[in-house]
Amino acid sequence: MTFGASCSPSCAQFVKNTNAERFATEFPEAVNAIINDHYVDDMLSSVETEQEAIDLAINVRDIHAQGGFKIRGWRSNSSKVLVALHEQQGDEKSLNVTSQFSTEKVLGMWWSSSADTFTFKLPTKPDKDLLSGKRVPTKKEVVRVLMSIFDPLGLLVNVLMYLKILIQEIWRSNIDWDETITAVQLAKWHTWLKVIEKVETVSVPRCYRLITSCSPQTNVQLHVFVDASINGIAAVAYLRFEEDDKIECSFVAAKTRVAPNKLTSIPRLELQAAVIGVRLAQTIAESHRININKRFFWTDARDVLCWLHSDHRQFSPFVGFRVGEILESTELYEWRWVPTKLNPADDGTKWQKTPDLSSDSRWLRGRGFIWEQQTAWPEMLTHIGTTSLELKHSVGLHCVTVPVVSCENFSTWIRLLRHIAQLKRYIQNLKATKNGTALTFGELTQEELLTAETYLFRLAQEAVYLEEIAILIKAANSGDN
């Protein structure tokens, strides 16, 4: 393909897939790997056994060869797989298998094939004085450090969240791009540097399951924890595998967002965190081949649970639309309450203590009650209750007007006059009842008849001289003679 042409990537993908589809009947697994597990010119796939890996790699390589493509540069966490691929390739050059067991960059993430774990490396573009804290950074340099750490799965979002909040604070202080940050912000920057130094020690197993099998009898659950604070929101997801008496949990993905610059209440942020958690669960289900048997969504916000169990039409549009989105993708029985102390998502929104970056931490391994039998989980709330937060405001208006009277229905003037006088007395008595004053009874007085007559004269004038009356009112308001 012509390098740089805008159509080249699309054409290359089309040719690759078209070539593979010719062998869909003969090699279905290899074709599926070519279509779904290829990213541009890289292949990233995982299977259960070494022999499956060897067969898959050989078939993929042969299918590509039928189209004139040579796939090479294999990496694996198994020396047996590497040796088998070398023998099949027939390359005259020797393949030093041990040299393959090194940290490689796979789709932007660092993978240690010998330990079969994901690791991280500190950014190399910023100078050492900046990361060591010897030099005061500018606004641009702080943002550059954050953007240089590639973490698509959210393994380090509990660490990066602190820097995101700091950048938001720097932004609100109206500092220019090339202007150094303030002393208060510099102190927070040094606090974050002390933590980021330990990032290279983070080691996360690539494989979800280490002690359980992939048999259909294994109960697979997806647990999503959500939380919010005044600084931001977080959602973290774990897969829980239960087989016989063996239980293990593994980190899947996490998302964090800083709170909007516009002041937002904590209950609203908790609801937004629930929305992020639902979207994260949908992404995980769509991008994994693992069959998830059950889902659990955990929140420590009772207001969110109240909103979910109420008619969302009675709340403000902010709450109503988000509750509607949540209920479209989840069921009410999937939502559970968890105490704040047992919520791992709390680590992504608060920095009350230095984050634990060990491979066995609560954040990376979901250490807590989900590692135990379901009887040890927090009890379901038997009574959710109601909340008055975000209820729509309703205003009642009561107007008292004189009923419209058709003069043509009265044969004499006195009958019409007495009828209007009786209506006005009725209205006056209604007001007196409300105010607690005396009511008027008995025959109509001369004053009441004069008031009714004046009212009828005014109606007649408004019917005939409406424009003239409007001119007079306007002149009176403007002070003209």
The string of pLDDT tens digits covering residues 213-228 is: 888 889 999 999 999 9
CATH number assigned to the domain covering 216-376? 3.30.420
* Alpha carbon 23 to its chain's center: 41
What is the pLDDT, as a whole number, of residue 121?
83
Whether residue 419 contacts residue 410, with contact meaning beta carbons closer than 8 Å, is answered with yes
The three-class DSSP label of residue 221 is strand
Q: Share the mean pLDDT of the chain.
A: 87
Predicted confidence band at 342 (pLDDT cuts at 50, 70, 90)? very high
Please give the share of the chain, as a percent, with pLDDT higher than 90. 45
**Which runs of E-coded beta strand occur in 196-309?**
203-205, 219-228, 232-243, 246-258, 294-299
Closest CA relative to residue 117, chosen from 207, 206, 211: 206
> End-to-end CA distance of the chain, in Å?
88
Which pLDDT score, from 0 to 100, does residue 91 have? Answer: 46
The whole-angstrom separation of Cα 72 and Cα 51 is 19
Alpha-carbon distances, residue 154 vs 58, 167, 168, 212, 237 (angstroms): 33, 18, 19, 24, 10
Q: How open is the CA angle 321-322-325, to the nearest 5 degrees?
A: 90
pLDDT at 90: 44
Tens-digit pLDDT profile for residues 16-51: 999 999 999 999 999 999 999 988 778 899 998 999
> Residue 69 pLDDT > 70, yes or no?
yes
Rounded alpha-carbon distances, angstroms, from residue 362 to 158, 198, 249, 365: 11, 17, 11, 5
Q: Which residue has the tokens 């970056």?
A: 357
- Are residues 65 and 16 in contact, defined by beta-carbon separation less than 8 angstroms? no
Non-local CB neighbours of 36 within 8 Å, separated by 6+ positions: none
Compute the distance between CA of residue 10 and CA of residue 21 in angstroms, rounded to an integer: 16
Task: Flag the least confident range among 177-186, 329-338, 444-453.
Answer: 444-453
- Taking the C-alpha atoms of residue 287 and residue 8, their distance in angstroms, rounded to an integer, is 26
Give tens-digit pLDDT for 435-467: 878 888 888 888 888 998 898 888 888 888 888
Amino acid in position 442: G
Domain chopping of the chain, boundaries: 8-100, 128-201, 216-376, 407-478
Burial degree of 147 (CB within 10 A; 0-12, 13-18, 19+) = exposed
- Report the amino acid identity of residue 353: K
- Report, as an integer, the average pLDDT of 271-293: 94
> 353-367, pLDDT tens digit by residue?
778 888 888 999 888
Between CA 2 and CA 11 the distance in angstroms is 10
Q: Is the dihedral of CA 235, 241, 246, 248 positive or negative?
A: negative
Which pLDDT band holds residue 189 (cuts at 50, 70, 90)? very high
**β-pair type (335-337, 246-258):** unpaired
Can you tell me the mean pLDDT for 267-286?
96
Would you say 232 and 349 are in contact if contact means Cβ atoms under 8 Å apart?
Answer: yes
Q: What pLDDT does residue 126 have?
A: 61
Q: What is the reported pTM? A: 0.76
Do 336 and 298 contact (CB within 8 A), yes or no?
yes
> For residue 142, what pLDDT is reported?
92
| From 129-133, 161-165, 237-241, 410-414, the region with the lowest mean pLDDT | 129-133
What's the confidence (pLDDT) of residue 125?
A: 63
Distance, in Å, from the CA atom of 282 to the CA atom of 118, rounded to the nearest integer, reads: 24
The residue among 191, 198, 131, 121 whose CA lies nearest residue 359 is: 198
pLDDT of residue 102: 64
Query: Which segment, 2-11, 330-339, 394-403, is predicted with the most confidence on average?
Result: 330-339
Give the Å distances, CA to CA, from 169 to 192, 196, 429: 14, 19, 63
**354 compared with 337, residue with greater pLDDT:** 337
Strand partners for 295:
222
Query: What is the residue-wise DSSP string for 436-464?
Result: T-----SSPPHHHHHHHHHHHHHHHHHHH
Give the pLDDT confidence score for residue 89 in this predicted structure. 44
Least confident of 89-93, 296-300, 345-349, 476-480: 89-93
